[in-house]
Amino acid sequence: MLFEAWGRFVFRHRALVLVASGAVLALSIVLTLRGGTFSTGNSLQSSLEAARGQRLINNELGTGPSTGGQFLLIFSGPGQKATDPAFKASVQAAVAPLTHDRAVVNVETPYNLPADRAATFISKDGREALAEVNLHSSGLVAQADYKRLRSQIHAGGLKVVGTGQVPVNAAFNTTLESDLQRAETVSLPIVLLLLLLIFASVVAAALPLGVGVLTIVAGLGGTFLLAQVTDVTQYALNIVTLIGLGVSIDYSLFVVNRFREELATGATREDALARTLATAGRAITFSGLTVAVGLSCLLFFQGTFLSSMGAAGGIVVAAAVFYGLTFLPAVLAFLGPRVNRLAIPRLGQPDPNHRGFWHATAGAVMRRPLLVMIPALALLLAMATPFLHLRLANGDVDLLPANVEARQGYDNFVASFPGQDQTTLTVVVDYATGSPATPARAADQKALAQEIARFPNVLRVVPVGVGKHIAVLNAISNQPATSDGARAVLHDIRALHATAGGQLLVTGQTAFDLDIVNFITSHTPLAAGFVILVTYFVLFLLTRSVVLPLKAVLLNLASISASFGALVWIFQDGHLSSQLNFTAQSIDPSIPVILFAIVFGTSMDYEVLLVSRIQEEYLRTGNNTAAVSEGLQRSGRLITGAAAIMVAVFCAFALADVVIIKSVGLGLAIAVALDATIVRVLLVPSVMRLLGDFNWWAPGSLRRRASSAPRPAARSFEQLGETPGPAAVPTGDA
């Protein structure tokens, strides 16, 4: 076998393999130290209507978002009016250093603007004043400029709060970095403790943790390299750590455990390593494929930050499998029996040949499979029901915690300053040929503005200007940007495309929100279908069965649906919002996609590891019931331990302050907990008991093409029944 041969190669050339692993580590460190630039949102280069409309405005009028950054300063003082001379003098003195700074384009305050604009720079109660600062720089440079300029602002007795585009982006970067550091600080000690409980040996426990660190470094290096050549989201680094730590430790856990089992049977180091890679090594390779396939669905969302997350996730999973098949077995080859050094006797080490809790559990489940299966499925379906009222909307500054200055300032800006609680829908009429300023077209534009002004929830329509080929209008609505009311106005305007004498495009926050939601939802069926079909094929190659992959996919979808329901119940409906420190809001459309991609892969991880062990026993005994009991006995404890590690890692990310990371972490923790308990312990044994030998059925032609390895003889449908083997469990009635 290929994996067995690789195991013997690693044993005989273990020093060379370690050198090769070290070279990959060195390259990863170099790439990580070089760093990279990460994006903060979706690209305007997409084909979305909102993006096309914004590009036209930028190209012809230059009145869209400037190439530079912008920030806002909100000044307030107890018992003072913004029109008081002392208040005015304090604001002017505070912004004076900014007006002479080379990084600043201009500074606008209510004291240097025409009266009509100045009114919008003073709060509704007259006690706060706004200053808008426009910068030449953008991105990380703008954030550095803001930090430097912010330190120069001294407003005497006035309070100053910074918000706007640049501070909000800086807050996301800073908060994501602190989330990542917190997750690592919290999860690593817990993971080490769990590994000590599982292995009862310091040396054995340290190996998976070491592989986890190597995997994260490789994943970060690969992601930084990716950022050199394409647009990569800042969320990718969190996803790399989240997936890399959990998956790599899981894989290492199974490899180390199998190696110790083989040594315990009296095998030589070489034979033990060869057998380990032939079994656990093969399983983690197929598991890595299923996780990578799950993540690959994110690549279907080109033009959004999801695609870069999928690529980064694929890199870190590949690193986990690489180190699991190279560095880890090479170290085990050197250690041999010393892998059990620094044992912790009081924890004990269970005898894998002893038929204990997991064997008894499998037997109990299979004696009454329907009695177990129906309530378990009912529970998962009940948990999934909140997903039926899912509402999707793009996350904004609300994704930040309420105690962040940029979030507090933005909330105050929207609530307190005139017109900021309104939504602007920008209408672009594009005349591909000719000028928009002809009398006929000008009349069309006037009629269009009048018709839009009559729509419900539209306050007024304001002409913006004309370019070489476009005319631009702003429709002002009294509805929040992501509300159903604003979306209704957007639909009404877009329905007028045939009446304007040119192509009508609508852009603005509401348009981007709905276009991105529609883009993601329209691409999801194809992405999910691809993942399901490819995963089915990979599982077929592993099991040589057409039935087991179908069972795995259906049970996986059940556990994913339950985690989705929990996600809506918590984050949209607002349960636990005070305990978890977030603002209840619509679900960002990226979150269900990210969850599906990761959960589908990691759930198949446990499916592969459990079923591959059951398959070993079935190939040995030909008895389905005995194989399920023995497979669960030998892998149940490890799957539970691995799941506990995954849950610990994911819960550490659930402590994040950014809602996207918090919801993904908590959703994954719930999904893995459900999968390792209800699905693997209850549903898999009960379903496999009901299916019997039919679990392993495949048409002869497919079986021959898939593998020529020896197997128990396939039986006809008439012969599909249990044949008690030497280790069979009493089955009882269904």
Q: What is the pLDDT of residues 380-393, one digit of tens each?
A: 999 999 999 999 99
- Angle, alpha carbons 635-560-216 (nearest 5°): 65
Q: What is the pLDDT of residues 133-190, one digit of tens each?
A: 999 888 888 999 999 999 999 888 899 999 998 999 899 889 988 888 888 888 888 8
Phi, psi of 619 (to 5 degrees): -65, -30
Q: Domain 69-169 carries which CATH code?
A: 3.30.70
* Summary mean pLDDT of the chain: 85
**Is residue 302 within a helix (H) or strand (E), and if so which, with residue range?**
none
pLDDT at 346: 53
How many other β-carbons are positioned within 10 Å of the β-carbon of residue 229? Answer: 8
pLDDT at 329: 93
- The answer to whether residue 535 scores a pLDDT higher than 90 is no
CATH superfamily for 405-514 is: Multidrug efflux transporter AcrB pore domain (3.30.70.1430)
- The answer to whether residue 455 scores a pLDDT higher than 60 is yes
Under DSSP, is residue 694 helix (H, G, I), strand (E, B) or coil?
A: helix
Secondary structure of 606-635 as H, E, C letters: HHHHHHHHHHHHHHHHCCHHHHHHHHHHHH
Under DSSP, is residue 515 helix (H, G, I), strand (E, B) or coil?
A: helix
Per-residue pLDDT averaged across 517-533, rounded? 91
Per-residue pLDDT averaged across 532-561, rounded? 87
* CA distance from start to end of the chain: 39
pLDDT at 701: 60
- The answer to whether residue 418 scores a pLDDT higher than 70 is yes
pLDDT at 704: 53
Q: What is the pLDDT of residues 245-285, one digit of tens each?
A: 888 888 898 899 889 989 988 889 999 999 999 988 888 88
List b or e across 630-655, with b for residues whose CB sees 16 or more CB atoms inside 10 angstroms.
bbbbbbbbbbbbbbbbbbbbbbbbbb
Under DSSP, is residue 464 helix (H, G, I), strand (E, B) or coil?
A: strand
pLDDT at 606: 75
Handedness of CA 56, 59, 62, 66 (dihedral sign): positive
Token pair, residue 495, equals: 């329905």
- The answer to whether residue 728 scores a pLDDT higher than 70 is no
Secondary structure of 254-293 as H, E, C letters: HHHHHHHHHHHCCCCHHHHHHHHHHHHHHHHHHHHHHHHH
Which of 659, 661, 658 lies closest to 571 in space, CA to CA? 659
Q: What is the pLDDT of residues 610-620, one digit of tens each?
A: 887 788 888 88
Per-residue pLDDT averaged across 419-444, rounded? 88
C-beta separation of 569 from 575 below 8 A: yes
C-beta separation of 329 from 256 below 8 A: no
C-beta separation of 343 from 200 below 8 A: yes
In the chain, CATH 3.30.70.1430 sits at: 405-514
What's the rounded Cα separation, in Å, for the pair 52 and 47?
6
Residues 6+ apart with CB under 8 A from 124: 416, 417, 418
pLDDT at 666: 92
**What is the percentage of the chain residues whose pLDDT exceeds 70?**
91
- Specify whether domain 1-44+200-349 bears CATH 1.10.3720.10: no
What's the rounded Cα separation, in Å, for the pair 377 and 355?
27
In the chain, CATH 1.20.1640.10 sits at: 1-44+200-349
List b or e across 310-322, with b for residues whose CB sees 16 or more CB atoms inside 10 angstroms.
bbbbbbbbbbbbb
Residues 6+ apart with CB under 8 A from 217: 25, 28, 29, 32
**Is residue 102 within a helix (H) or strand (E), and if so which, with residue range?**
none
Per-residue pLDDT averaged across 67-95, rounded? 90
For residues 353 and 38, which has the higher predicted lDDT (pLDDT)?
38
C-beta separation of 82 from 127 below 8 A: yes
Look up tokens 């009028």; give the residue. Answer: 61
Is 579 exposed, middle or buried, given 0-12, 13-18 or 19+ CB atoms closer than 10 A?
exposed
pLDDT at 125: 93
Q: What is the pLDDT of residues 637-692, one digit of tens each?
A: 778 888 888 888 888 888 889 898 899 899 989 998 998 889 888 998 899 889 88
Tell me the pLDDT band of 375, cut-offs 50, 70 and 90.
very high
Which of 153, 137, 156 lies closest to 145 in space, CA to CA? 137
What's the rounded Cα separation, in Å, for the pair 332 and 272?
10
pLDDT at 355: 60
pLDDT at 719: 35
Per-residue pLDDT averaged across 291-300, rounded? 87
Residues 6+ apart with CB under 8 A from 657: 175, 178, 179, 400, 401, 404, 581
pLDDT at 308: 85
* Confidence (pTM): 0.82
What's the rounded Cα separation, in Å, for the pair 377 and 381?
6
CA distance to 319, 566, 635, per residue, from 596 (Å):
21, 14, 25
Q: What is the pLDDT of residues 92-149, one digit of tens each?
A: 999 999 988 999 999 999 999 998 889 999 999 999 999 999 998 888 889 999 999 9
C-beta separation of 171 from 396 below 8 A: no
Is 43 exposed, middle or buried, given 0-12, 13-18 or 19+ CB atoms closer than 10 A?
middle
Strand locations in 448-513 (E): 458-466, 470-477, 503-507
- The answer to whether residue 713 scores a pLDDT higher than 50 is no
Which of 399, 307, 392, 320 lies closest to 594 in space, CA to CA? 307
For residues 333 and 620, which has the higher predicted lDDT (pLDDT)?
333
Rg (CA), the chain: 30
pLDDT at 500: 58
What's the rounded Cα separation, in Å, for the pair 616 and 718?
25
For residues 190 and 706, which has the higher predicted lDDT (pLDDT)?
190
Residues 6+ apart with CB under 8 A from 544: 696, 698, 703, 706, 707, 711
- The answer to whether residue 598 scores a pLDDT higher than 60 is yes
CA distance to 235, 451, 453, 653, per residue, from 436 (Å):
42, 18, 20, 52
DSSP state of 399: G
Q: What is the largest CA-CA distance in the chain?
A: 96
pLDDT at 241: 86
- The answer to whether residue 529 scores a pLDDT higher than 70 is yes
CA neighbours closer than 13 Å in the CB half-sphere of residue 515: 24
